[in-house]
Amino acid sequence: MADEVVLLDFWPSFFGMRARIALAEKGIYYQYRDEDLQDKSPLLLQMNPVNKKIPVLVHNGKPICESLIIVQYIDETWKGKSPLLPSNPLQQAQARFWADYVDKKIFPSLRDTWSTTGEQQEAARKEFIEALKVLEGELGEKPYFGGDSFGFLDVSLVPFYSWFYAVEKCGNFSTEAESPKIIAWAKRCMERESVAKSLPDSEKVYNYVLENKKKMGLE
Amino acid sequence: MEKLKLLGTYTSPFNRRVMWALKLKGVPFEYIEEDLFTNKSELLLKSNPVYKKIPVLIHNGKPISESTVILEYIEETWPENPLLPVDPHERAIARFWIKFMEDKDKAKKDCLEVLRTIEEHGLKEDKKFFGGTNIGLTDLVFGLLAYQWELMEEIVGVKLMEVHSFPRLHTWAENFKSVSVIKENLPDRDRLFARLKGRKEVLVGSSKSH
C-alpha cells in the first residue's frame, strides 16, 4: 500500500520549511497544502485541535504536529536515506539542545526585529545578532552543524535564512558582517536541492513582511 | 564504571523528572544540590555556559543540559525499561505533550484552559498513563501536576483542579503516584510548601482565569 503524506503548511513559515526540507532529504512524495491562517481549513482544525497551528504532517490519516517533532518522525519512519539525527546519543543530545536554542533565541528575536520599533526593536536586533554569533561558535570550522553531513540542526536553522534579507532591511544591519560563517554555511546549505526547493525567495518574504507591517500600522 | 552526576535543586520539577527517569531505569548517579541564589558552582557554570541553569547531567565528563534533552538522552543511552513507545507515531504524540507542557510553563497562560486541554485531548478514557499502560517520559514531565497542584491551591486559596471537572487528571495523578519509584521519590511536602509560599505572587498571577 502506498503511503499517503500531506503537509499542511504556510509558505513563509520557517517551521513549515523544516518539514519540507526533511521530506525532500528523504525523497518522500507528498501533497503540499498552503493554509489561509485567517481561515483555517477543517482538516487543520481536526488534525491539530490543541494548537490549531501549522505545520502538520498527515501520514496515512494520522497527524504529527510541531516542526521538530515532525522532523524526528520523518527521520524515524523513513530510515533508509539521509539520516538527520546522529546515532550517537551525546551528539543527538547536542543537536536537540541547539535546535531548542534556535527556537528560544533566534525565532523570537527575529520576529521582534521586524515587528517592533524603537527600544524593543533595538533589544531584539541585539539578541538576534548575539544568538547568531553563539551559533557561529558552535559551527566552528565544520561544513555543517552535523559535521560532514547535513543534519537535524542544519534543518532546524536554515529556514530562518530566507528571512535574513527582510530583517536586515527592517533592523538596518548586515548578517554577513555580523556572522560571516553563518552566511557561508547557509549558502552551502542552499546548494542542496532539498533546501533550495523548500525556502521561499527572500524578496517575496520581504514583501510579505512589509504587508504585515502595514497591517500592524508600523511603517 | 560509568560516572554519572546530576546537578539540580531539591524543589525543581525539571530536576525531579530527570531523577525519576534515572531511578526508573535503575541507573546509579551522584546527585549534587546546587545553591542557585548565592553561589552557582564552578562545575555548573562550566557545564552549562549557555543558560547556567539546572538540571545538568554529566556523563563521563560530558554535560547535557535542558531537562527534555536530558530525558531523551537517558532514553537513548539506557534503553532498558523504555520510557518512550517504539512506534514513531506514538513517540510523536508523547513528544507533542512534552512540548505542550514546556510551552505552557513558559507562557504561564490560563491554568484552567491548560487543564481542560490535557483532560480532553491528552488523556484518553482507557489510558492509565500518558504513555498508555506504562509510565513514560510524558508522565514524568507532567509529574508536578500530581504533587504540586494541591499545595498551590492551598497557598493561593482557590480550588482549581476539582475532581468532578477533571476526573481523568485525578485518576492519572493517583496512578502516577502509586508507581513505587515515584512514590519513594516525591518531594517532602513541608519543604516544597515553604518554597512555593515564597513565590505566592507568581502563583496568584497564574491562577487567574479569563
CA distance A20 to A7: 8
pLDDT tens-place string over residues A127-170? 999 999 999 999 999 999 999 999 999 999 999 999 999 999 99
| DSSP string over B66-115 | SHHHHHHHHHHH--SS-SS-SSHHHHHHHHHHHHHHHHHHHHT--HHHHH
CA distances for A125 relative to A65, A216, B159, B178, angstroms: 29, 19, 43, 49
What is the β-pairing status of strands A5-9 and A56-59? antiparallel
E strand residue ranges, chain A: 5-9, 31-34, 56-59, 62-65
Residues near A164 by beta carbon (within 8 Å), at least 6 away in sequence: A175, A183, A186, A202
A163 with A205: CB under 8 angstroms?
Answer: yes
pLDDT tens-place string over residues A16-37? 999 999 999 999 999 999 999 9
Q: Say which residue, B193 or B50, is predicted with more confidence.
A: B50
Looking at chain B, the whole-number percentage of residues with pLDDT higher than 70 is 90
Q: What's chain B's length in residues?
A: 210
Q: Do A97 and B77 touch (CB under 8 A)?
A: no
Count of other CB atoms within 10 angstroms of residue B22: 20
Q: Do B92 and A72 touch (CB under 8 A)?
A: yes
- Minimal-distance CA residue of chain B relative to A97: B69
The shortest C-alpha distance from A107 to chain B (Å) reads: 14
**Chain B residues close to A97, C-beta within 8 Å:** 64-66, 69
Res. B203: pLDDT tops 90: no
Amino acid occupying residue A163: W
CA distance A157 to A84: 13
Interface check for A92 against chain B (CB to CB < 8 A): the answer is: yes
pLDDT tens-place string over residues B39-49? 899 999 999 99
CA distance B144 to A52: 26
Please tell me what DSSP assigns to residue A80. S
Q: Lowest-pLDDT range, A34-43, A99-108, B17-26, B150-159?
A: B150-159
Work out the pLDDT band at B37, boundaries 50, 70, 90.
confident
Please state, rounded to an integer, the average pLDDT across all residues of chain B: 89
pLDDT of residue B106: 59
CA nearest A151: which of A167, A163, A139? A139
pLDDT tens-place string over residues B100-157? 999 876 555 567 888 899 999 999 766 899 988 899 999 999 999 898 888 888 887 7
B64 with B75: CB under 8 angstroms?
Answer: no
Interface check for A91 against chain B (CB to CB < 8 A): the answer is: no
CA distance A196 to A199: 6
**Chain B residues close to A103, C-beta within 8 Å:** none
The shortest C-alpha distance from B112 to chain A (Å) reads: 14
Amino acid occupying residue B194: A
Select the residue of B69, B77, B96 nearest A96 (Cβ to Cβ).
B69
- Does this complex have an ipTM over 0.90? yes
| Cα B4 to the center of its chain, rounded Å | 20
**Chain A residues close to B89, C-beta within 8 Å:** 59, 62, 64, 73
pLDDT of residue B148: 84
pLDDT tens-place string over residues A59-73? 999 999 999 999 999
Phi, psi of B2 (to 5 degrees): -75, 135
Work out the pLDDT band at B2, boundaries 50, 70, 90.
low
Mean pLDDT of A77-96: 96
pLDDT of residue B126: 66
Q: Do B59 and A90 touch (CB under 8 A)?
A: yes
pLDDT tens-place string over residues B66-104? 999 999 999 999 999 999 999 999 999 999 999 999 987
Q: How many CA atoms lie within 13 A of B117 on its CB side?
A: 16
**Chain A residues close to B65, C-beta within 8 Å:** 97
CA quadruple A149, A155, A158, A159: dihedral, nearest 10:
160
Mean pLDDT of B194-208: 64
Instruction: Please give the model's pTM, rounded to 2 decimal places.
Output: 0.94
Please state, rounded to an integer, the average pLDDT across all residues of chain A: 96
pLDDT of residue A79: 94
CA angle (A104 as vertex; B197, B63 as ends), nearest 5 = 80
pLDDT of residue B158: 77
The grid cell for A97 is 539542545
CA distances for A124 relative to A117, A179, B189, angstroms: 10, 16, 41
